[in-house]
Amino acid sequence: MSYNKRQVFEDNLEAIRTYYDITSKEREITKEDIEKISKYKGFGGLKVVL
């Protein structure tokens, strides 16, 4: 499987959105939330997208 920068970027955004949704609504975390957040890779490569 090749490294897809766009997919990593989208996964990162989804992880951040999920985190903020959990914290802003003070709700319980689900298995789906854990899966989304676990895909977070960091934004070290953000300069490539910008």
Give the residue from 19, 23, 15 showing the smallest Cα distance to 40: 15
**Residues ≥6 apart with Cβ < 8 Å to 33:** 18, 22
Read off the pLDDT of each residue in 15-27 and give the average, rounded to a whole number. 94
Segment 1-20, tens digit of pLDDT: 567 888 888 999 999 999 99
Taking the model in full, what pTM does it have? 0.77
